[in-house]
Chains A and B, each alone.
Chain A
C-alpha cells in the first residue's frame, strides 16, 4: 500500500493540532455552532441522534493489519466495542465524545489514518473495486491512480467549500462496474487505447440520493498525464456554477443535467485547455513511484492445490463457503476471500474490537498483512494461498465470520438507520433483521442465488437502495415509518437505478412483501437464472401483481 513519507505524516500531525485547536475554541464558545459544524464535518464528525458519529477514512478501502489493530483499540477505548463499515468503504464510530475526537485522531495518525474530508461539501474518500490489484479482469491496478487523486483532493484549497459533497470512484474492469462509477459525481474508468497507453474515460453527474441518476461520459479518453488537470477542470465548472440556493439541487448531477453533458464538456474543455501541459501534468517518474507502493507481495509458487481439493471434497461447509465467498486471483494458486459482516440483529457492516484484532493477526499470518473494506459493508482478505484456505476458514468460522452468503439475500446492505442516525426516517436494522430471520435456511438462500437487497433509512441513500436488485427505502408519512420498494437496480455488471414498485408499506409488512417478490422469482425463473435476469426478462408486472393483487 501507499507508504507515507515524512511529509505525509507531518501533514496528518498538523491536521490533528489544527482540529484540536478548533475543538478547543468551540468548547470555549469562540466558534459558533454553525462555524464548528462545517469544520467538524470536514473532519467526519456528525452530531447524531444520541451521540456524535466519527467517520474514519479508509482510502480506497485498503487497510494494513497495524491500522486494523489500532482501530480495534480505538473502538474499545472510545466506543462501545463496535465500529461500522460504511458503503463508502469507510469506518464509522457511533459513540465517541466530541472532546475525545482530537485524541482519537492523534491515535489514528500514529498509523497513518485520519478522518480528513469524510464528510462536508468537499471531495470525499476515493473508492474503487475491493479486489483492486488482484482482480484478474482489471486492465491495470487502479490503486495508484486512486492515491494520486487522493493527494490532489486532500486539502485542495479551491474545492473545500463546494455546493455539495463530491464523490469520486475509479474502476479498472472493462465489463463491470464494481466501483459503481456510474452513480458517482465523477467516475473514472481506466482504459487502454490501441497503442496500449493508459487513459481515462471520465464520467460525471451520477449519484444516488434524492434524485438518482447515472452519469454521462464527459471525457472519452483523457491521457494519463492529464488526469488531475481534467478532474480539476470538471471541479472548477462545478464550483462556479453548481446550485448553492437549494441543497437538494446542489449536486453536480443536477448541473450536468441542466446544462446537458455537451455543454458541461465544453465548459470543462475550456478550463482544461488552460491546465493541460501545465505544472499539474503527471510525470512517468511520479506515477512509477506511486505504483511502486502497490507492487505484488512475495507470492509463493508452490501453493498446494491438491490439499485444497481434498478439504473441498471432505468438508461440505467449507466447500459451500469456498464457492460463495472466495474468488479467482491474478496469481495462480491464490484466492481472495470476503467476510460478510451481516450478523442478524446487528447493523450490517458492524465489526467488534476483538474481531478487528483477530482479523489483523489473520491478515498477518495469511494475507500479507492487508485487509480491505467493501462498499457492500464487508471485509476482504485479498491474497490467500490455496493451501491456507481451509485452516483460515476454520479460524474465521470460530470468530463467526465465515457465513457463506456473499452476494446473497441475507448479505444485506443497510445504513445504520433511525437507531443511530438523526437524518433517517426509518429504522433499517429491524427491517434487515426481519428478512434475515425469515430466510434463515441457508440451503434455500443458496438456491435463490445472487440477490442484492439494499436498505436506506432515508432519501440520502447511504444504503444504496437504488442499486439493489431489491431496494428498500424508509419514508416518513405523517410521522409514521413506511417503506418503499424498488426492483431492478444494479450495482454489479453495470450501475442502474431501480424502479419503484408501487405504494409503500408499513414496517410489519416488509418481510412478507419481500417473500412475495421472491416467490414470483422462484416460480418464473429459468434454470440457473439469477433474480436480476428474471426481473429483466419478465419485467415489473408479475411482481406487482403478486404483491398488490
Chain B
C-alpha cells in the first residue's frame, strides 16, 4: 500500500485506482471491500451498481473530462480524482477549482499521476486536498517543502476567495 498526502499529513493510501479501460480489458471485477477509484466512463456505464456498493467509490477525471460530466453525481461521491498524465498538462487545475467553486464539492479532490513537489502549492490553492506524490519521489520532502513555499498570494483561491486587495491589512500585520 502506497503513501499519500491527505489534508497536510502523510497517510496510507487505501484506495485502489483503475486506469481507463483496465477493468474492461482484464475483465476484472472490483475488489468488494476496498475503496476504489474508477474512470468516468466506467462510472457512467455502471452507475446504478456502483451506487449500491458498500465500500466507497470515487471517480477519476482524465484531461478532457470535465467536472460538468459528473455534476449530477457529485452529491453521491466521497472522492473525485484528477489525473495528470504529465505535470505540464494544466487542465486539472481548472477542473479542481470548478469542483470546489462551481459545484461546491466538499469531498476529497485528489491529484494522481505525475504529481510532484513543485506543483503541490498551486494544486492545493485550486482545491486539491489529497496528493498521490509520484512513488519514486520523497513524499516527506514534498510535504515539508512543496505545500507552502509562499506566505503571500495575490489572488483569492478556494480557501480564501478574497484577492489581496481585500486582505491587505491582515498581510501588513503579519
- Give chain A's interface residues, CB within 8 Å of chain B: 5-8, 10-11, 14-15, 17-18, 21-22, 30, 35, 38-39, 121, 151-152, 154-163, 228, 236, 239-240, 244, 274, 278-280, 282-283, 285-286, 289
In the complex, what residues of A have CB within 8 A of residue B156's CB? 279-280
B116 engages A35 (CB within 8 Å): yes
B87 engages A155 (CB within 8 Å): no
Q: Nearest chain-A residue to B92 (Cβ)?
A: A161
Interface centre among B97, B121, B165 (most CB of A within 10 A): B165
A158 engages B162 (CB within 8 Å): no
Q: How far is the CA of A21 from the CA of B123 in the complex (A)?
A: 19
Q: Does B122 contact A (CB under 8 A)?
A: yes
Q: How far is the CA of A155 from the CA of B88 in the complex (A)?
A: 15
- Give chain B's interface residues, CB within 8 Å of chain A: 63, 66, 87-91, 93-95, 97, 101-102, 116, 118-119, 121-123, 125-126, 138, 145, 149-157, 161-166, 168, 171-172, 174
A158 engages B97 (CB within 8 Å): yes
A18 engages B149 (CB within 8 Å): yes
Q: Can you show 27 pairs from A to B with CB atoms below 8 A apart?
A: A7-B152, A17-B149, A18-B150, A21-B145, A22-B118, A30-B138, A35-B87, A35-B116, A35-B118, A38-B87, A151-B154, A152-B155, A155-B153, A156-B155, A157-B121, A157-B125, A157-B155, A157-B157, A158-B122, A158-B126, A160-B93, A228-B163, A239-B90, A274-B102, A279-B163, A280-B156, A283-B165
Q: How far is the CA of A17 from the CA of B152 in the complex (A)?
A: 14
Q: Nearest chain-B residue to A241 (Cβ)?
A: B91
A2 → chain B, closest Cβ, in Å?
Answer: 13
A279 engages B161 (CB within 8 Å): yes
B63 engages A244 (CB within 8 Å): yes
B111 → chain A, closest Cβ, in Å?
Answer: 12
A541 → chain B, closest Cβ, in Å?
Answer: 47
Q: How far is the CA of A21 from the CA of B149 in the complex (A)?
A: 11
Interface centre among B102, B145, B154, B168 (most CB of A within 10 A): B154
Q: Nearest chain-B residue to A153 (Cβ)?
A: B154
Q: How far is the CA of A192 from the CA of B91 in the complex (A)?
A: 36
A11 engages B152 (CB within 8 Å): yes
Q: Nearest chain-B residue to A286 (Cβ)?
A: B165
In the complex, what residues of A have CB within 8 A of residue B88's CB? 38, 121, 161
In the complex, what residues of B have CB within 8 A of residue A21's CB? 145
B149 engages A14 (CB within 8 Å): yes
A14 engages B152 (CB within 8 Å): yes
In the complex, what residues of A have CB within 8 A of residue B166's CB? 279, 283
In the complex, what residues of A have CB within 8 A of residue B93's CB? 157-161, 239
A42 → chain B, closest Cβ, in Å?
Answer: 9
Chain A to chain B: the 9 pairs with minimum beta-carbon distance, closest first: A161-B90, A157-B122, A286-B165, A157-B125, A11-B152, A279-B161, A151-B154, A18-B149, A7-B171
In the complex, what residues of B have CB within 8 A of residue A285's CB? 165
Q: How far is the CA of A158 from the CA of B100 in the complex (A)?
A: 13
Contacts beyond the supplied A10-B152, A158-B122, A160-B90: 9 A-B pairs with Cβ under 8 Å: A6-B172, A7-B171, A10-B151, A155-B154, A156-B155, A157-B126, A161-B90, A162-B90, A283-B165
Instruction: Using A157-B122, A158-B97 as known contacts, say yes or no to A7 and B163 having CB atoms under 8 A apart.
Output: no
A99 → chain B, closest Cβ, in Å?
Answer: 19
B163 engages A280 (CB within 8 Å): yes
Q: How far is the CA of A235 from the CA of B4 in the complex (A)?
A: 31
Q: Nearest chain-A residue to B102 (Cβ)?
A: A274
In the complex, what residues of A have CB within 8 A of residue B94's CB? 158, 236, 239-240
B118 engages A39 (CB within 8 Å): yes
Q: Nearest chain-B residue to A283 (Cβ)?
A: B165
In the complex, what residues of B have CB within 8 A of residue A283's CB? 165-166
In the complex, what residues of B have CB within 8 A of residue A279's CB? 156, 161-163, 166
